[in-house]
Structures are given as structure tokens and as C-alpha cells.
Amino acid sequence: MPSPPEAKPPARLRILLRTARPQSDEWRTALAQALPDADIAVWPDVPFAPDYVVAWRPSTEFFNRVASPKAIFNLGAGVEALLRLPNLPPDVPVIRLEDAGMAQQMAQYVTLAVLAAHRQRNAYAAAQREGRWAPLPPGPSAQFAVGLLGLGVLGRACADALRRLGYPLLGWSREPKQVPGVESFAGMDALPQLLSRSRVLVCLLPATPHTIDLLDATRLALLPRGAHVVNVSRGDLVVDHALIALLDAGHLAGATLDVFRTEPLPPAHPFWHHPRIAVTPHISATTQVADAVAQVAAKIRLLERGQAVTGAVDRALGY
Ligand code: NAP
Ligand code: GLV
């Protein structure tokens, strides 16, 4: 009797990974453990046409050399760098990270900045340098409204943390939202009202054609005198010279900036040495390898079974 034909082993998945260079090994190992049925190549090696691309800020050269995959996973929440690529394959789903360990970090960073503004950390640091005993009773948190631009995954995590500290919260999004403890403002017409009431303004919007330069001189001037600005989204949402002018004029009391138009922030940039600006190097919420890989691997498995996944980017909206 002829022996039955040997069953063909299932085809292995092919994944192309592109991360910040020094971390490639860690990502590759984690992805290989999460998806043992996959072959994983690390850019700039492109030994196959990948089923999936898993990448952070690939260059134009990347998609000149890589054929259209089934989906592109963005190793971060913000997708603007990917969407700006002129040769990003059309009609391929782009899937971003949702939280993946970033929401808690962002809530911590924003809470620290809001508390520092409310409890006047800058004023006490100055008083200590001068050896001055100068109590400045803080107003009640119930009178210290925080405006959150963006009520997505990260904005809602910040709202949750700040609500527990008793701050009134005003949240801005494209569509109206119901978030516990947050007064919802939606659309451009509602923005001036939110700005005029925000003692601290936290920017957690994606960078899209609708949000670039959003915080210009006119809108920043709508903030109450003595307000603080916290930008943790992208640098090009805030007009740098407008922010500095309003700080220098005494209209704004301070700014906490984690993101910049050019990163690293150039050494000669005035933000570095401004007495009322706190600068951090884009670390408010960093991508966590284990969380990100677990999320991406779970979504690849769903896609392979023909199931839908969350986190798909709307290219027309830009986020
Ligand atoms: P997300 O879940 O997509 O939320 C985006 C929010 O922005 C949504 O509430 C959305 O409104 C709102 N929005 C978008 N365009 C708008 C517009 N034109 N007018 C009003 N609201 C608008 O994003 P996420 O995960 O929270 O991340 C937000 C951003 O944080 C990322 O895009 C990235 O730039 C930045 N980020 C920074 C760091 C860091 O370390 N500094 C880390 C991670 C992320 P709807 O709810 O109505 O759609
Ligand atoms: C970081 O900035 C991100 O978008 O994940």
C-alpha cells in the first residue's frame, strides 16, 4: 500500500522588526518567545517578504525595500511618523499600541506636574535657595481645574488619577465623551471655553494635520493668568515662541515639556535654560518591551484567525 502523503507543516509566520538599534536583541528575543511559530528578521536584514511589520519610526528606505505586509504594528501610541512616510503601503492596516504599559507612566508624570503646579514647587524651590521661610497656602484642589486635551487611552488614565486627588477635570476630544469626573468638551468651538478655565493644561493629543500648532499665541493667551502648560504629546502642537512670550510676560506661570519639535532638544534651544520651564527627554511614557510584545503577539494571533483587532489607525483622521 502506498504510504499517505506527508502532511505539510503549517507555514511559519514571517515578521520584520525595526526598533531603536540598541534594543533590537531584547525585542527580537521577546517576540520569538511570544510567537514561537514565527521567523523574525531584524531590519536592515530583509530576508523575506514579511507577513507583519513591527516597527518604530521606519525610514522611507524601509518601505522601498519591504513588500506590503498584512499589517503594520507601530511600536508606540503616536503614529504620525509612520503616516508621514510618502511610500507607506496604502490599504495596509496600521495598528498602534494601546496603553501597553504607558498609561500608568503617563498618569504618574502628569500627576507630578499638576501637583507641582498646584503646590507651587517652583516658588518653594526659589524660596529655599534664598533661605526664605515663605508659606503660600495652596487653594483647594476643587478650585484648581485641569484641562486635558485628548481623552483617549492616555488622557483617560490621567483623568482617573487626577480625579482621585479632587481636581475638577475638563476634557477635550473630537467626539463628546462620558468619562467619570470629567466635563466633556468636543470640537474646535468648545476649545476656548475649556482653555479659559484650565489652571493646568495637559496636552495628550496625537499630532495630526488638525492639531499641529494648535497651542498658538491666541489659544495659549486664553488660559487664566498663572496657568501651567504640560505637553506630553508631540512638540509641534505647541508654538515654542508663543509659549516663551507668555511665560516671559508673566501670563503663564510655568511649563512642563516632555516633547519637542526637534528631538533631542537642540543645545541652544531657549527651553533648556528658561527658569519656568521643566524639560524632560521624551520619557513621560516609554514603550515597555514585555507589554508591547504581548499586545502585538496577541493581535497577530487574532488576525491570523481572521478576527478583528482594536487599535487600528484611521489614516484620514491621522490617529
Ligand atoms: P488615543 O487613544 O488615540 O487618544 C487621542 C485623543 O485625542 C482622543 O480622545 C481623540 O478624540 C483626541 N483627538 C484627536 N484629534 C483631535 C482633534 N482634532 N480635536 C479634538 N480631540 C482630538 O491616543 P493615546 O494613546 O491617548 O495617545 C495620545 C498621544 O500621546 C499619542 O498620539 C502620542 O503623540 C502621545 N504619546 C506621548 C508619549 C510620551 O512619552 N511623551 C508616550 C505615548 C504617547 P476622540 O476620543 O473623539 O477620538
Ligand atoms: C511615544 O511617544 C509614543 O507615541 O508611544
User: pLDDT digit string (tens) for 178-236?
Assistant: 999 999 999 999 999 999 999 999 999 999 999 999 999 999 999 999 999 999 999 99
**Residues 84, 87, 92: CA angle, nearest 5 degrees:** 90
Ligand 1 centre and the CA of 189: distance in Å? 19
Q: How far is CA 96 from CA 80, 82, 202, 206, in A?
A: 11, 10, 22, 12
Nearest C-alpha to atom 5 of ligand 2 is from which residue? Answer: 76
pLDDT in tens, 254-275: 999 999 999 999 999 999 999 9
pTM: 0.96
**What are the two backbone dihedrals, phi and then psi, of residue 186, each rounded to the nearest 5 degrees?**
-130, 140
The set of cell numbers assigned to 102 is 504607558
Ligand 1 contacts CB of residue 21 (under 6 A)? no
Specify the CATH class of 13-100+287-304 in words. alpha beta
Establish whether 273 is a catalytic residue.
no
Establish whether 241 is a catalytic residue.
no
Alpha carbons 68 and 45: distance in angstroms, whole number: 16
Domain(s) labelled CATH 3.40.50.720 in the chain stretch across: 13-100+287-304, 102-279
- Confidence (pLDDT) at 21: 78
**Which amino acid type is present at position 48?**
F
Ligand 2 contacts CB of residue 77 (under 6 A)? yes
Alpha-carbon dihedral angle through residues 252, 257, 262, 268, given to the nearest 10 degrees: 70
CATH code of the region 102-279: 3.40.50.720
Q: In the chain, helix, strand, coil percent, each to 5?
A: 35, 20, 50
Ligand 1 contacts CB of residue 148 (under 6 A)? no
Ligand nearest the Cα of residue 319 is 1
Selected catalytic residue, list 118, 197, 228, 234: 234
